[in-house]
Amino acid sequence: MCHNIIDGRFHSTCGHFVGMSTRLQDCNRPDCLFSRRHEHPVGCKSHQCRRMMSLPVHNPIRLSDSLCGDCIIRNPLSRGC
């Protein structure tokens, strides 16, 4: 099945992933509604076609030793100041 690949920054201190960009990974199957090779027209009503994408994949393109922005806002004392 088709799925999204989310490129982003992984914060190793808190374990959170912050997405920066998203791209589609095409499965090239004729029965997948999201594929470029889908064999039916735009208004596909076929019950045999796949209508769900797989879960997105996180691709860490940046690694950070600091806390993410959400963790800093939630706990301002953890900044080390």
Give me the long-range contacts of 69-72 (CB less than 8 A, separation at least 24): 69/18, 70/16, 71/11, 71/13, 71/14, 71/16
Would you tell me how many other CB atoms lie within 10 Å of the CB of residue 30?
Answer: 10
pTM (predicted TM-score): 0.77
Q: What single letter denotes the amino acid at residue 36?
A: R
| pLDDT mean for each 10 residues of the chain (81 residues) | 96 96 95 90 86 95 94 76 42
The predicted pLDDT at position 78 comes to 59
Query: Residue with structure tokens 């994949």?
Result: 57
